[in-house]
Structure 1
């Protein structure tokens, strides 16, 4: 899936938006979209964090 097909990524628990990663380390995988959870993410649930992906 390409990033052009994604409208938004959000944490299901809070609704907070999660940006799409633009890191150079992901540029080798143009057909995969990576969510940018930050350098040291604190996830809403350490065992089962769910991201909602809305497609265009």
Structure 2
């Protein structure tokens, strides 16, 4: 059981590293605050307002 959990954690970390390397915009997913700030400036906050 312990080995399976460790392997799963390593797989998740590896996938995150690959995403960050291939897609530099990946940090937007774990940090929605940055996504809102970046989207609000150029678009005028159309996503936040209904």
TM-score of the superposition, structure 1-length normalised? 0.20
**Highest CA radius of gyration, 1 or 2?**
2
TM-score of the superposition, structure 2-length normalised? 0.21
Q: Which has the higher contact order (CA 8 A, sep 6+)?
A: 1
Q: Which has the higher strand share?
A: 1
Q: Which has the higher helix share?
A: 2
